[in-house]
Structure 1
Amino acid sequence: MKRSAIGAVALLAALLFLAGLPGCREQREARVPTSVRDAKVKPPVEKPAPELLSTQAAFIEVSQKVTPSVVNISAERMRSAGELGPLFENFFGDLFGDLPQAQRKEHSLGSGFLISADGYILTNEHVVKGAEQIKVKLSDQRVYDGQVVGIDPRTDVAVLKIETREKLTAAVLGDSEALQVGQWALAIGNPFGLDRTLTVGVISATGRTEIGIEDYENFIQTDASINPGNSGGPLLNIYGEVVGINTAIVASGQGIGFAIPINMAKAIADQLIEKGEVTRGWLGVSIQPLNQELAESFGLDQVTGALVNQVLPDTPAERAGVRRGDILLGFNGRKIRGVRDLQQQVAGTPAGEQVSLEVLRDGKRLNLQVALAAQQAQEAALEAGAAPQGEVFGLSVAPAEGNEGVLVEAVDEASPAAAAGVQPGDLILSVNRREVKDLASFDRAVQEARDAKNVVLLVRRAETTLYLAFAAP
């Protein structure tokens, strides 16, 4: 028995020895196929298309060149939190309501990028809003305290500063006005705390407004992945130039992200660095968008520009000769696409600057020179104007006090006037630009308007005047 056991051990040892010999090892390895890349194993695609290789090389180069200018931002805030959980609060009600509120630290992560070698950083306002302590980490892992130079909540732009004696790598800012839909777009940021992640897509759209994110919107839309933590990071073109600040995503959509154009952000940053706040230009008009009927009634072949429904007294617009009923078509040589676009252009122009306005008045195009004033909060609301809804007619009117207009007493709910939003109490000031002073002048203006293709009413509601248009019956 012992001899058999010893023999078995000896046989096993001999087999192990033989397995270690070169010939046996080669034989065993030959029976295990591998796909390890070496001189004998070629890739499935030996020669990728040159276009793919050059694009890949471009992405790699952009990442290598720009990443040193991208920073991670950690903001710390203090938040009040009840010492009792919601279960206790629901059960005991206000019994413990007088207990002091506990304070807890809340951390958030975001991104930013250096815009100067001496440590100025551009990011989003919401990244640093309310922060009591800000830490900025560079690509080489050095960490600095960040100080807020200035913020602009109305555009979601903020400027930070870090102090260092070393010269830092600043990003190169491009021209967002030159962007075209379909261009490559690369985003670098800190999504979910994952350091300096690169994502690639295209410019999906430019000039996006009415998103409802900020007061002043002119967003670049991209399908380059933007996730929580990307906020404040750069959106780049294929040359590695910053063309936008990654800002927001559509939570319910895939591949829909928005970035603040760098031209707009730079203008804001320059003011924040220079004086710590933003001063916007102000024109002094109440404006409203055009619909098809209004555009046709004013002789426009397309719905573009902004309609002036009120010129405020003692304002830049009044001094420049702007009148109620003017269509503003151009601002300083740039076409006005609509109300939001005009607001953006005016607000982005420094107070005191002389600008030109292209105006359509009585079928003729005029150029007016206007020196913008500084905008105040209440003036910003007036500049937005009031947006009319729909069309007009189906009214009963009565004499108004004074020698101006007629008073709308009732509106037929099934009429075009109701659909237009005309309300009892509105004061009709003109019909097809024919001034209305009383019932007689109103009747004459209505009779003349029946031969027109469209009818345009100017009405006053409270402190606002606005135009309403409809197809003539």
Structure 2
Amino acid sequence: MKRFASLLFVSVLGGVITLGAYKAFVEKENIVVDTKAGEPKFVTTNYNGATPPNPIADVDFTEAADKTVHSVVHVSNVSVQEGPTNLFDFYFGYGGREQTRVGTGSGVIISPDGYIVTNNHVIDNATKLQVTLNNNKTYVAELVGTDPSSDIALIKIKADDELPYLAFGNSDNTKIGEWVLAVGNPFNLTSTVTAGIISAKARDLGKGQSFIQTDAAVNPGNSGGALVNTNGDLIGINTAITSQTGSYIGYSFAVPSNIAKKVVDDLLEYGNVQEGILGVRGSELNSKNAEELGIDETAGFYIAKIVEDSGADQAGLKEGDIIKKIDNQNINSFSQLTGFLKSKRPQDVVNVTVLRDGRENTYPVTLLKNQTYVVRPLGIVVKNMSSKDKKRFKGSGVKVTEVVKGMENYGFEGKLIIQINDDTIEDIDDVKNAIEGANNYNALSIVLLNQEGEKERLIFRM
């Protein structure tokens, strides 16, 4: 028995030694892969009883909100329209009764004597404008001027006392991610404050405009209201939302304050908006059109054409140049270019940095008054005559400088338009008025003049 026990002990001991040697010197390490190792883990951190920091709580909106709500007003647009009130009127074309419609929006007081900036679409077609302040006092407002292209309008009320107002801030200094407040009167509610951040700048909604995009809630009735930073500076006029329901779904847009201020100043000083024209045509760059153009650059504005006698022409810019900056503002899109220029006037000088032959050069360009007009029904571009044109042609009119594809065979380009229907043409303003009044005609009659003084008439059915 003792001999058996000794043999068993020796066997077990030998097995242990053999297994240990195998583990130590022969067996490879077995690595276990945790497929969930890349997933985020919830970690509780001990702050010793203190409340964890909250970046939103660190921003104080109260001062800006208090400053803004008293300067934002409710705007009522009362319009009287005549329309059919029953099927009999509709089918037989009778006017029916006058119908009163009331539209509502918001506005921002920008001076103590009662000037108010709002959106053009808020006051459009109004026969009567009413403004209600935050203290519930109501005033009749008069229209000072409008600019449909920027959707900005200026109205005025007469109050007995000085009014609270907001000062324009510099929208060029705003930054993506910056906190902002949107203040207005959505759904006929009195001044309502919502908060968000600037989501994007120079956003184009399809018409070459330049908007500040935010995620601050903006709803119907907010149009014309204030977009302010945490200091209470007016950095934008709330204008539009992108929505399939008609209400806010996460995106809202504001006209930058630099554009709104320039429009307001022009309306007060000139009665209309003064546009400073650079004098270039082209497109913003991306991978697709850069490949089509045979260039490596994918950021900037590509100049495809220089307008004759424009500031760009006089400064020495060339076709094929790529605009990279204007006054140290980066230009990566068409909306950035137009947004910057909309804040400028004729005779303003801007420093344009272009990329040419692999090198950047900066040119001072004097912006000029718009000398061209696009005649969309004809697919042509016309411009006022230069001093050279006046010497070259034996007559006055506007010169056709561009023709869209499909209209080349009519012989427009390089000739003067001297008459449209019954209107004599001296400049582009005459062309604009003649085209707008062409609805009274069944046809568009165009009289052209060439350099030899020969006339020809073209008639287009409308």
Q: What residue number does 2:271 align with?
A: 276
Q: What residue number does 1:306 align with?
A: 301
SS in 2 for 1:254: coil
- Contact conserved, 2:69 with 2:192, CA < 8 A, in 1? no
Give 1:75 shift.
0.9
Say if 1:76 and 1:357 are closer, same or farther in 2 by CA, change over 3 A: same
Find the aligned partners of 1:287 and 1:355 in 2 and give their Cα distance. Answer: 19
Q: Is 1:66 aligned to residue 68 of structure 2?
A: yes
Give 1:300 shift.
6.7
Say if 1:198 and 1:295 are closer, same or farther in 2 by CA, change over 3 A: same
**Aligned pairs for 1:292-371 within 5 A:** 292=287, 295=290, 302-371=297-366
Q: Is 1:104 aligned to residue 99 of structure 2?
A: yes
Q: What residue number does 2:121 align with?
A: 126
TM value normalised by structure 2: 0.65
Say if 1:240 and 1:314 are closer, same or farther in 2 by CA, change over 3 A: closer
**Aligned pairs for 1:89-168 within 5 A:** 94=91, 96-97=92-93, 99-168=94-163
Q: What residue number does 1:219 align with?
A: 211
Q: Is 1:248 aligned to residue 231 of structure 2?
A: no
Structure 1: give runs of 5+ residues left out of the alignment. 1-46, 387-421, 427-473
Say if 1:81 and 1:380 are closer, same or farther in 2 by CA, change over 3 A: closer
SS in 2 for 1:58: coil
Find the aligned partners of 1:49 and 1:377 in 2 and give their Cα distance. Answer: 63
In structure 2, give the amino acid aligned to 1:71. V
Q: Is 1:235 aligned to residue 227 of structure 2?
A: yes
Give 1:159 shift.
1.1
CA RMSD in angstroms, aligned pairs only: 3.1
Cα deviation digits, residues 269-304 of structure 1 (max 9, x gap): 111122221011112222123333664798976411
- Contact conserved, 1:154 with 1:216, CA < 8 A, in 2? no
Give 1:207 shift.
1.9
Find the aligned partners of 1:224 and 1:364 in 2 and give their Cα distance. Answer: 42
2:202 pairs with 202, 207, 210, which one?
Answer: 207
SS in 2 for 1:126: helix
SS in 2 for 1:109: strand
Find the aligned partners of 2:243 and 2:308 in 1 and give their Cα distance. Answer: 44
Give 1:199 shift.
1.6
Find the aligned partners of 1:126 and 1:194 in 2 and give their Cα distance. Answer: 19
Give 1:234 shift.
0.6
SS in 2 for 1:116: coil
Say if 1:181 and 1:324 are closer, same or farther in 2 by CA, change over 3 A: closer
SS in 1 for 2:60: helix
SS in 2 for 1:154: coil
SS in 2 for 1:265: helix
- Contact conserved, 1:237 with 1:243, CA < 8 A, in 2? yes
Q: What residue number does 2:180 align with?
A: 185
SS in 1 for 2:187: helix
- Contact conserved, 2:285 with 2:332, CA < 8 A, in 1? no
Find the aligned partners of 2:311 and 2:375 in 1 and give their Cα distance. Answer: 14
- Contact conserved, 2:346 with 2:369, CA < 8 A, in 1? yes
Give 1:148 shift.
1.3
Give 1:172 shift.
3.2
Cα deviation digits, residues 234-292 of structure 1 (max 9, x gap): 11222222221111111226111111111221121111122221011112222123333
Aligned residues: 331
Say if 1:380 and 1:326 are closer, same or farther in 2 by CA, change over 3 A: farther
Q: What residue number does 2:12 align with?
A: none
Find the aligned partners of 1:190 and 1:174 in 2 and give their Cα distance. Answer: 22
Find the aligned partners of 1:299 and 1:107 in 2 and give their Cα distance. Answer: 55
Percent identical pairs in the alignment equals 36
Find the aligned partners of 2:77 and 2:291 in 1 and give their Cα distance. Answer: 53
Structure 2: give runs of 5+ residues left out of the alignment. 1-48, 382-404, 410-462
Find the aligned partners of 1:377 and 1:284 in 2 and give their Cα distance. Answer: 10
Find the aligned partners of 1:180 and 1:345 in 2 and give their Cα distance. Answer: 16
